[in-house]
Amino acid sequence: MDALCLLVAGVLRTSLPGPEFTLAWQHSVEKIQWEERYRVEPGRLRLVAVRVRGHGAGMEPPPEATLRDGAWSWSPGSTVAELRLARTSATADYTLCSASRCRSLGEWVDRPADDGVVVLRACAGAPGR
């Protein structure tokens, strides 16, 4: 089974069992909540759903988005090999949810915000913590 691996400076910090995870954050300028749900697939991450509580500069929902319960949502279906997440103490940290367990990204990797980029990628059956 594929897992989600979290790396800092090329070092595996932890892995989480698949098949899906949600990444959420607040836009640093617009202060709008953004959520993306991914499916872990062999060698890639598939973006299966996006949910945004509003819109603003650089955050316009696409034409296929629907407004429901105060949030725009759509299903892109695109894939990426990895996500590279820059973190800073000047903004709120990302929240990563896996298997109904949500924690800040800093808690998952046990690193302070200004300690480099966190890379999320699919990996085959890595042990979790």
Measured distance CA(71)–CA(52) in Å, rounded: 5
Q: What is the pLDDT of residues 29-72, one digit of tens each?
A: 767 888 999 999 999 999 999 998 877 666 678 889 999 888 88
State the total domains in the chain.
1
Q: Which residues pair with 31 in a beta bridge?
A: none
Establish if 128 belongs to a structural domain: no
Residue found by looking up tokens 């509580």 in the block: 53
95 against 30, higher pLDDT: 95
- Using CA atoms, how far apart are residues 41 and 39, in angstroms rounded to an integer? 6
Query: What's the number of CA atoms in the CB half-sphere (13 Å) around residue 78?
Result: 7
Phi, psi of 92 (to 5 degrees): -65, 145
Q: 29 lies in a domain? A: yes
The pTM (predicted TM-score) of the whole model is 0.87
**Does 71 reside within a domain?**
yes
Assigned domain for 95 exists: yes
Domain containing residue 22: 2-123
| Ordered alpha helix ranges (H), the chain | 105-109
Residue 129 lies inside a defined structural domain of this protein: no
